[in-house]
Amino acid sequence: MNDIRAIGFDLFNTLIFVEPQTLREAHARLFGTLRESGLPRLEEDAFRKAHRQAAMDHLAQCRASGRETHNRFWISAALQAQGYGVSPDDPTIARAVESYFSAFLEYCHLIPDTLEMLRTLKKRYPLGLLTNFTHGPAARNILEHVGITSFFGIILISGELGYRKPHPSVFLKLVDHFGVEAEKILYVGDDPEPDIAGARAAGLTPVWTTYVVDHEIPYARGILTGVPDPPEPSVPRISTWQDLFSLLNS
């Protein structure tokens, strides 16, 4: 792959992983903040179910349209289902969102050898990050917390872009930034549909990383679970960062 001129990365389960208890702890913090903000009679189990349903509904719409959603809409819908007419833009919900994402800082970890990999590649290629994450400030806090912000010439977060992978517009922003032909940009990600199919449809050269699965690292699973179909056999697959270096040197 001597014709590669730039490299883009996904974030979750590509460069970092999130411990399995993260979403449970995040929801507990979210609910606690709502209770402390003047909703003392809010029933936790009913709210949890309504919040999960709202999240699934909004994320299904995202898949259909490509437009990103935000947690404040899920929380507002869940509260309305419990009889509380709280707008998505209410400060109470804003505080709850921040409480929710505060848990991520405690439970996010770099995949082993990622820092050294990024240091090495940065000497050879421009690097960029493109991730699906509903709340941009939280994603940037996570990047700072694990110490990798400085490696990327551009950081693209779906919550700030308004669209999420696999929508082609987000990949094309990465292409525009690098200023090289799309096929000369390697994009490394773990999720077959948004990362691999999305990158390929936009003309980039995808690489499928399966480190987390292959090394049996326990990680938090998203709202919409399920086993996706693997990408086409022609897509290179890596299981370690050494595999990536070997691929780039081939």
User: pLDDT (tens digit, 9 = 90+) per residue, 24-33?
Assistant: 999 999 999 9
What CA–CA distance (Å, rounded) separates 129 from 149?
9
State the CATH class of domain 6-19+108-248.
alpha beta
The pTM for the full model equals 0.94
For the segment 126-154, the average pLDDT, to the nearest whole number, is 97
Residue 39 has pLDDT above 90, yes or no: no
Q: How confident is the model at residue 228 (pLDDT cuts 50, 70, 90)?
A: low
What pLDDT, on the 0 to 100 scale, is given for residue 227? 57
Give residue 202's region: left, alpha or beta (phi > 0; psi -120 to 50): alpha
With a pLDDT cut of 70, the percent of the chain lying above it is 97
Specify the residue for token string 């691929």.
Answer: 247
Residue 34 has pLDDT above 60, yes or no: yes
Q: How confident is the model at residue 221 (pLDDT cuts 50, 70, 90)?
A: confident
What CA–CA distance (Å, rounded) separates 237 from 244?
9
The two tokens of residue 234 are 């022609």
- Beta carbons within 10 angstroms of residue 3's beta carbon: 9
More confident residue, 85 or 117: 117
What pLDDT, on the 0 to 100 scale, is given for residue 41? 86
For the segment 50-56, the average pLDDT, to the nearest whole number, is 94
The residue ranges of every structural domain in the chain are 6-19+108-248, 22-106
Whether omega before 166 lies within 30 degrees of 0, making that bond cis, reads yes
What pLDDT, on the 0 to 100 scale, is given for residue 218? 85
More confident residue, 243 or 221: 243
Burial class (CB in 10 A: 0-12, 13-18, 19+), 114: buried
What pLDDT, on the 0 to 100 scale, is given for residue 179? 97
What CA–CA distance (Å, rounded) separates 156 from 11?
10
Residue 232 has pLDDT above 90, yes or no: no
